[in-house]
Structure 1
Amino acid sequence: MENTSKTNEKTIEILDRLITILDDGKLGYTNAAEDVDCNQAKTDFLGYARERALFIVELQDEINKLGKSTNTAGGPMGAIHRAWIDIKSLVTGGDKEAIINACITGEKAAIEEYEDALNEEHLNTSLRPLILKQLASIKTTLAKIEMEKKTLT
């Protein structure tokens, strides 16, 4: 019983970290949508923000199943990233390329956090498919954003 309790506790910590990076991404994309001048980019960024919100709910549901209530506050690195998007857009006047670069940075951080989670020995194995599904979507989003960047040059 103690082993299961310890595994659940560690799994909750892992999921909390993922929720933090997702919340940071959701807020970052919302800020990016507000700051960019291109209507299509606004639509895309808001879609990515909605997807991150859905991912958060999915992970919160899993934490709740493990017996812990959930909340999202965003992490300190995410706060730095969001501030960087805000500052970058102020300096660049909504420059789409600068905002896209900030989003690429955020997506790469999310991918790293997800890969770290998958490598954790204490991760409840039943959660691997959900985490892999979310990771695949984040990688797809990164590829779309990188493709968008290429069209700017």
Structure 2
Amino acid sequence: MKTEQTVSVLNDLLQITNDRIEGFEKVEGKIWEMYPDIKDEYDRMISQSKIMKNQLINLIIEKNGIPNDSTSVAGALHRIWIDVKNSFTVGTIEESTLENVVFGEKAAIEAYEKALESDDLCEKSRKIVSEQLHSLRESYHQFKKIEEYKKKEN
């Protein structure tokens, strides 16, 4: 039973990671023209997310589970909401994008914390998920600082 719970939690995290990748890859080119200093950090986060995705898939397969390698319904709805919001944005799309990244990273952190608190992960999975959570927290703080800096600039 524990194995099924572990696979279920890991699949939830896999979907969140896929949401993260899709969200990052959706960022428009004009943002990079406006803020080229952020591009490298975004690229690093996409690469990091793909590594995290592969780690989660490997953990699921090791548990004889089937990876649910899709995005979540909540993530898809959030991306649609962002598109609608951006079409009516009074401020800049760049500011809105930074806010959305910070929001998304915070949501991912909360999901990872919940997974670790659930006690449904084996020791190996717990270690990897904990390392991934650390990376998520770092990127959250990085983009939170950038968001705050850009708001002061305007």
TM band (smaller chain)? 0.7 to 0.9
Match of 1:96, as an amino acid? E
Q: Distance in 2 between matches of 1:56 and 1:76?
A: 18
How many angstroms does 1:123 deviate by?
Answer: 1.7
Aligned: 1:21 with 2:16: yes
1:85-96 alignment to 2 at 5 Å?
85-92=82-89, 95-96=93-94
How many angstroms does 1:125 deviate by?
Answer: 2.4
Question: In structure 2, what is the equivalent of residue 122 of structure 1?
Answer: 120
Question: In structure 2, what is the equivalent of residue 109 of structure 1?
Answer: 107
Contact persistence 1:32–1:45 (CA under 8 A): no
Aligned: 1:9 with 2:4: yes
> Kindly, what percent of the aligned residue pairs are identical?
26
Deviates more, 1:14-23 or 1:27-36: 27-36
Q: Distance in 1 between matches of 2:27 and 2:119?
A: 35
- Assess, with a 3 A threshold, how the Cα gap between structure 1 residues 94 and 57 changes in structure 2: closer, same or farther: farther
How many angstroms does 1:106 deviate by?
Answer: 0.5
Aligned: 1:99 with 2:94: no
Question: In structure 2, what is the equivalent of residue 31 of structure 1?
Answer: 26
- Assess, with a 3 A threshold, how the Cα gap between structure 1 residues 100 and 49 changes in structure 2: closer, same or farther: same
Unaligned runs of 5+ in 2: none
Deviates more, 1:109-118 or 1:36-45: 36-45
State the Cα deviation string for residues 98-153 of structure 1 (Å, max 9, x = none).
10100111011101100110011222122211111000000000000011012111
Contact persistence 2:15–2:68 (CA under 8 A): no
Aligned: 1:43 with 2:40: yes
How many angstroms does 1:35 deviate by?
Answer: 5.7
Q: Distance in 2 between matches of 1:98 and 1:110?
A: 18
- Assess, with a 3 A threshold, how the Cα gap between structure 1 residues 86 and 43 changes in structure 2: closer, same or farther: farther
Given the two structures, how large is their TM-score scaled by the length of structure 2? 0.86
Q: Distance in 2 between matches of 1:111 and 1:8?
A: 23
Match of 1:122, as an amino acid? D
Q: Distance in 1 between matches of 2:138 and 2:17?
A: 15
Q: Distance in 2 between matches of 1:149 and 1:71?
A: 32
- Matched residues, number: 148
Aligned: 1:63 with 2:60: yes
Match of 2:94, as an amino acid? K
- Assess, with a 3 A threshold, how the Cα gap between structure 1 residues 34 and 77 changes in structure 2: closer, same or farther: farther
Q: Distance in 2 between matches of 1:104 and 1:8?
A: 33
Q: Distance in 2 between matches of 1:123 and 1:143?
A: 26
Q: Distance in 2 between matches of 1:63 and 1:112?
A: 21
